[in-house]
Structure 1
Amino acid sequence: MKGTLVRRRVLAGIAVAALALAACGDGDDDTGTGGTEGSEFSSLSGSLKATGATFPAAYYQEVITAFKDEAPNLTITYNGTGSGTGKKDFGANLNDFAGTDSLVKDTDGPTAGSFLYVPTVAAPITVSYNLSGVDKLQLSAETLAKIFQRTIKTWDDPAIKADNPDAKLPAGKNITVVHRSDGSGTTSNFTKYLDSAAKGVWTLASGDTVKWPADTQGGEKNTGVATLIKNGDGAIGYVDYSDAKASGLKFAAIKNKDGKFVEASVKGAQAALAGAEVKDDLSYNPLNAAGADTYPITSPTFLLVRTKYDDAKKKEAVIGFVTYLLGDGQKLAEEVGFAPLPDALKTKALAQLDKVS
């Protein structure tokens, strides 16, 4: 089958990563981002609709744009609605594939056995802030937990001072906590991190939605949270790395498991990926990973693809796009602030597509 043939070629490219794909054979093997009439994807046509996580949306848009050169007759739309909505849409057959940063629960919509997890990239969740006169900030997990559950309410709290002995923190300045107002995988991973790293301190549990204290502010999608932080002196919130950078936000260095304060970066996310345990269904958790260079709030993200597509044309289109994303599409990740998958995980992710019928 064509999809299997393409995946074999991508797998071969991973196995011999030192060789350029363009030099691996004749024109039929060309799956480069430049696009040629010999592209293995050029026969794909029709349209695909996807909804879901806003966290990887910038990366997916980059890949979709590049893939258009390879499959000019195929139209793909990805609408960043939030992981919760993406999963519900998937369960209601309102999309062809979905993006999610969090795993599927029984109440999310998709039924067990109807989907496969396909890891795509990973990236830091920043703790972004707006505090006049403070350009560098460091926070431990325990201090962060107390800030977000409103145990700590001012910027000159002793716990923040202890984390920042050299900073000039404003006296009596109130902290405004900003969070997601929609069901969000970013919220799920941020609160999972606090639940793990600040165990015994964090009391708000974890999930796509959390019952935040009444004196906090909610923003829709990562961009909404970023806007509220940018417009509010004294504000702090959690925002994906790509949107935080695009919004010009400052973000705190977070104390990792090895006791080092590490700023959000692609390098820090890659360090977290290196030690993550991958389960049989390809779910994995790089949060609070060990390692001196690890950024501790590193989020995975996945595509949900169906185990069975009734429309053969859509099936081949989904397989083709995801194959490209896991091949040449990985080269685009760092440009927009994401960590590409390690080769071993890419190989396993490609093998998931052989299970689609």
Structure 2
Amino acid sequence: TSFIWTNYLSKVNPDWKSKVGEGTTVSWPTGTGGKGNDGVAAFVQRLPGAIGYVEWAYAKQNHMVYTAMKNESGAVVQPATETFKAAAAGADWKKSFYQILTNEPGKDAWPVVGATFVLLHTAQDKPEQGKETLKFFQWAFKNGGSAADNLDYISLPPSVVTEIESQWKEKVKDASGKPVAP
């Protein structure tokens, strides 16, 4: 969460970028930090006038007050499934699956979105295990959308899932060079 937030601040504020920067830990110019969502939330709830940042799922599930933000297009947007999906849709996934979804283009895009990554070796020394792993992710892509929604997360855009599955077939191989993908 700290990386995503400080990455966004570094993109929109040159002073922040040069003086504080981005990272999982930074030297905050003022204030007291909390550890994790629980720690930040505890400080915000205990200190009158305090502000902080936590992930959306945590804020929503704990009925925390949140704010609208101005996005890269200049529109003021609320955090919501639709604005998170708009940010994911605006990313250039063809360039790379490694996407930091902060300040993405689009009038409906929430400016502070993060993606979770799963890394997989392209050279599989245990191809049957690799194949089973890919089967699990195929299942998750096809059936996990409602679970993601229930947890206040979003699924990848369908076009990205198609591209990921294509990359599996092209790049994930056993020692003889044979594709492992189901």
Q: TM-score normalised to the size of structure 2?
A: 0.81
Match of 1:204 in 2: 20
**Higher mean C-alpha displacement, 292-301 vs 199-208:** 199-208
CA contact under 8 A between 1:191 and 1:206: conserved in structure 2? yes
Looking at structure 1, the residues matched to 120 and 48 of structure 2 have their Cα atoms a distance apart, in angstroms, of 42
Mapping 1:8-47, distance limit 5 Å = none
2:36 to 211, 221, 237: 221
Kindly indicate which of the two structures has a greater share of residues assigned to strand: 1
The aligned counterpart of 1:193 is 8
Q: Which amino acid aligns with 1:303?
A: V
**Map of 1:1-357 to 2, 5 A cutoff?**
186-202=1-17, 203-213=19-29, 215-312=30-127, 314-354=129-169, 355-356=171-172, 357=174
Output the amino acid matched with 1:234: G
Q: Which runs of 5+ in 1 are unaligned?
A: 1-185
Give the greater-gyration-radius structure (CA): 1
Between the two proteins, what is the percent identity of the paired residues? 30
1:288 to 1:306, Cα distance in 2 relative to 1, 3 A: same
Structure (1 or 2) with the greater helix fraction: 2
Give 2:178's aligned residue.
Answer: none
The residue number in structure 1 matching 2:179 is: none
Say whether the 8 Å CA contact 1:330–1:340 is kept in structure 2: yes
Letter in 2 for 1:257: E
Matched residues in 1 for 2:130 and 2:15: separation?
46
**Shift in Å, 1:312:** 4.4
CA drift of 1:345 comes to 0.5
CA RMSD across the alignment: 2.2
Relative contact order, CA 8 A, sep 6+: which one is greater? 1
Residues 249 and 306 (structure 1), Cα distance of their counterparts in 2 relative to 1, 3 Å cut? same
**Offset of 1:303 from its aligned partner?**
1.3
**CA deviation profile, 1:118-159 (whole Å, cap 9, x unmatched):** xxxxxxxxxxxxxxxxxxxxxxxxxxxxxxxxxxxxxxxxxx
Q: Distance in 1 between matches of 2:78 and 2:116?
A: 20
Q: Is the 8 A contact 1:226 1:243 kept in 2?
A: no
After TM superposition, give the deviation of residue 194 of structure 1 in Å: 0.9
Contact 2:4 2:100 (C-alpha < 8 Å) held by counterparts:
no
Q: Give the direction of change, closer, same or farther, for the CA distance of 1:336–1:275 in structure 2 (3 Å limit).
A: same
Which string of whole-angstrom CA distances, capped at 9 and with x for unpartnered residues, describes residues 285-334 of structure 1? 43112322221112222112233444445423322222222221123222
- SS across alignment from 2:14: coil
Question: 1:35-89: per-residue Cα shift (whole Å, max 9, x none)?
Answer: xxxxxxxxxxxxxxxxxxxxxxxxxxxxxxxxxxxxxxxxxxxxxxxxxxxxxxx
Q: Is the 8 A contact 2:34 2:43 kept in 1?
A: yes
User: Quick check: 1:326–1:350 contact (8 Å CA) kept in 2?
Assistant: no
| Alpha-carbon distance between aligned partners in 1 of 2:64 and 2:142, rounded to the nearest angstrom | 32
Aligned twin of 1:111:
none
**Secondary structure at the counterpart of residue 327 of structure 1:** helix
| Distance of aligned partners of 1:289 and 1:345 in 2 relative to their CA distance in 1, 3 Å threshold | same
1:277/1:285 contact within 8 Å kept: no
1:206 partner letter: E
Is the partner of 1:349 in helix, strand or coil?
Answer: helix
Paired residues, what number? 171
1:342, CA displacement in angstroms?
Answer: 1.3
